[in-house]
Structures are given as structure tokens and as C-alpha cells.
């Protein structure tokens, strides 16, 4: 499922080499929601890790992301992990091809977020 969200960059983490074949980089968007502010963590993977390099904390950005989830069973206990896999980041005022969409609204042309089969044993 493809979505987008707009907010202020709150924190940008360093790139992490999780395994020989998998690297990730996380960042947090601050998104006002009425009287409350949400701090939502997104993940960039593989060749997308550098997308955040052109931005700094405090910048207003629009993030296109896929929502994915998977179960992970260990010692007979199943846990569920949800991931917001970012695949595009742009300045908040940038025009979007194909019209506008609201924050966290599904996009018409959904891209898929896939990891190598070798990475399926990772609990995130």
C-alpha cells in the first residue's frame, strides 16, 4: 500500500548496516494532529538511504511510503512488526506529478516494497 505524509523533520538517524545484504536509515517526522503532535518514524532501505541527505532537521517535507507488516515467531511467541518504508522525500511545497493527495491517503499507483528473501528472518 502506498501513502504519503507531510511534516517537519524531527530527527535523522545514521545509516545502519544490518547485515551483509541489508542497510537501513531511519528518520522521524513531526506531524501536527489537532491538539497533539505525532512523531512518526520512517525507514529508508538499500539505495534509498541517501534520499534524506539533502534535508536537515526542521525542514518541512513530504514523504511517499509503503505500509507493510509481517509476523515474526520466536520461541513459540508471534509478534507483529509494522514498517513505514519511505521511497521518496521531497520539499513540502514541491508539486506532485498526477495531482495532489492528502497526508496518509493511498496513492492510485502503488509501488511495492520488497526485501530480499534472505532478509525475511529479520524482526523488522
Domain ranges in the chain are 2-111
**Model confidence over 21-78: pLDDT tens digits?**
999 999 999 999 889 999 999 999 999 999 999 999 999 999 999 999 999 999 999 9
Contact 65, 42 (CB under 8 A): yes
Q: Regarding the domain delimited by 2-111, which CATH topology (the fold level of the hierarchy) does it fall under?
A: OB fold (Dihydrolipoamide Acetyltransferase, E2P) (2.40.50)
Q: Share the mean pLDDT of the chain.
A: 82
The distance between the two most distant Cα atoms of the chain, rounded to a whole number of Å, is 49
Radius of gyration from C-alpha coordinates of the chain? 15
Residue 93 has pLDDT above 60, yes or no: yes
Task: Give the whole-angstrom CA distance, residue 46 versus residue 22.
Answer: 6
- Supply the pTM of this predicted model: 0.71
Amino acid at each position: 500500500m502506498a501513502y504519503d505524509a507531510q511534516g517537519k523533520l524531527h530527527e535523522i538517524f545514521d545509516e545502519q548496516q544490518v547485515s551483509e545484504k541489508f542497510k537501513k536509515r531511519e528518520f522521524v517526522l513531526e506531524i501536527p494532529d489537532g491538539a497533539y503532535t505525532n512523531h512518526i518514524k520512517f525507514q529508508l532501505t538499500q539505495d534509498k538511504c541517501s534520499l534524506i541527505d539533502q534535508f536537515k532537521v526542521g525542514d518541512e517535507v513530504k514523504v511517499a511510503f509503503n505500509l507493510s507488516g509481517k509476523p515474526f515467531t520466536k520461541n513459540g511467541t508471534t509478534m507483529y512488526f509494522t514498517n513505514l518504508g519511505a521511497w521518496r522525500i521531497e520539499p513540502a511545497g514541491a508539486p506532485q506529478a498526477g495531482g495532489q493527495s492528502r497526508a496518509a491517503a493511498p496513492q492510485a499507483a502503488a509501488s511495492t516494497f520488497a526485501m530480499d528473501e534472505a532478509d525475511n528472518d529479520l524482526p523488522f
